Chain A
Amino acid sequence: METVLFAILGIAAILAALLTITSPSPIASALYLVGVMFSLAGLYVLLAAPFVAAIQVIVYAGAVIVLMLFVIMLLNLRPVEEKSAAGWQTAGIAVASLVLLTAFVAIMSASSQLAVVNDVPTTFGKTVEIGKLLYSRYLYAFEVVAVLLLLAIVGAVALIRKPDSADGDGEAHAD
């Protein structure tokens, strides 16, 4: 059962990822990316990580992709002509294959040395357990991430302000 689910979800993830990077329309790319996110969420459930699966769906499929779709539709993006040189495409595929080959060799040579635990406790990956870790050992990192998100909000708002409103501060408060 687990094997069948892994095969289905894995193949779905790979196919959706390939369609994401090959489809000419950005909207279609974003929708295929949702497929990648959902397949990965399913794999997280298989890997005893229900909390991670939930935030994968909520944060990625729910927030990140919707943000991208908003931007694509707001800017009314049409497919840009991708007439890059064929040599550049080949180089890209070659580099990606090289990355893949390196990873394969590394994984295959290390796979015999991995200390593998086949059974995990039933509470493994539950929200309570992750919450305990977040608020004890990783408390500082948690707080720093909160500051990072605040900075990202402020930075994003500052970046997309209209350039001519920079010196027109008084105009905004005129009436």
Chain B
Amino acid sequence: MQIELTHYLLLTAVLFAIGVMGVLTRKNLIVLLMSVEIMLNAVNLTFVAVARYTADLTGQVLVFFVMCVAAAEVAVGLAVLIALWRHRGTMHMDSFRLLKW
């Protein structure tokens, strides 16, 4: 069986859905960040797969930018987590409901 673009796209769909499930079901803020990373990586795989099967390098350049933004997101996100930890002493999502209506 020849591996085609469709197979890669289906794989990224599964990975993205796993990330969505992690964000919606977990209560630990760090695991939440990891789920976001899984979603970003699924999108990166889509970019690379489409770049390969359309013979257009733009997709790989975009992955480079996505990785930079993801690195910035993780750095700021973890800094926010540490600040929250200092204020509340917990990582449980239900402890942070000040903005919840």
Least CB distance, B17 to chain A, in whole angstroms? 4
- With a cutoff of 8 Å between Cβ atoms, the chain A residues found around residue B17 in the complex are 96-97, 99-100, 103
A71 within 8 A of B: yes
* Contact in complex: B51, A92 (CB < 8 Å): no
Bound Cα distance A22, B7 (Å): 25
Least CB distance, B60 to chain A, in whole angstroms? 5
Bound Cα distance A144, B8 (Å): 31
25 A-B pairs with C-beta separation under 8 A = A21-B18, A33-B38, A52-B60, A60-B41, A68-B78, A77-B28, A80-B91, A80-B92, A88-B25, A93-B24, A99-B16, A107-B9, A107-B10, A114-B5, A116-B53, A116-B54, A117-B53, A120-B52, A125-B51, A125-B57, A133-B57, A149-B68, A155-B79, A156-B75, A162-B86
Which B44-67 residues sit within 8 Å CB-CB of chain A?
44-45, 48-49, 51-55, 57-58, 60-61, 63-65, 67
* Contact in complex: A96, B24 (CB < 8 Å): yes
* Contact in complex: A44, B1 (CB < 8 Å): no
A172 within 8 A of B: no
* Contact in complex: A17, B19 (CB < 8 Å): yes
- New A-B pairs, 9, CB < 8 Å, besides A68-B30, A133-B58: A3-B2, A21-B31, A29-B31, A33-B37, A43-B48, A49-B60, A77-B30, A120-B52, A159-B80
* Contact in complex: A125, B60 (CB < 8 Å): yes
- With a cutoff of 8 Å between Cβ atoms, the chain B residues found around residue A162 in the complex are 86
* Contact in complex: B76, A156 (CB < 8 Å): yes
- With a cutoff of 8 Å between Cβ atoms, the chain B residues found around residue A163 in the complex are 86
Least CB distance, B87 to chain A, in whole angstroms? 8
Which 3 A/B pairs are nearest by Cβ-Cβ distance? Answer: A92-B24, A21-B22, A152-B72
Bound Cα distance A74, B92 (Å): 17
Bound Cα distance A163, B25 (Å): 32
* Contact in complex: A55, B45 (CB < 8 Å): no
Q: Residue-by-residue, is A131-148 near B (CB-CB < 8 Å gives 1, otherwise 0)?
A: 001100010010001001
- With a cutoff of 8 Å between Cβ atoms, the chain A residues found around residue B73 in the complex are 152
A166 within 8 A of B: no
Given A96-B20, A99-B17, A107-B10, A64 and B37 touching (CB < 8 A)? yes
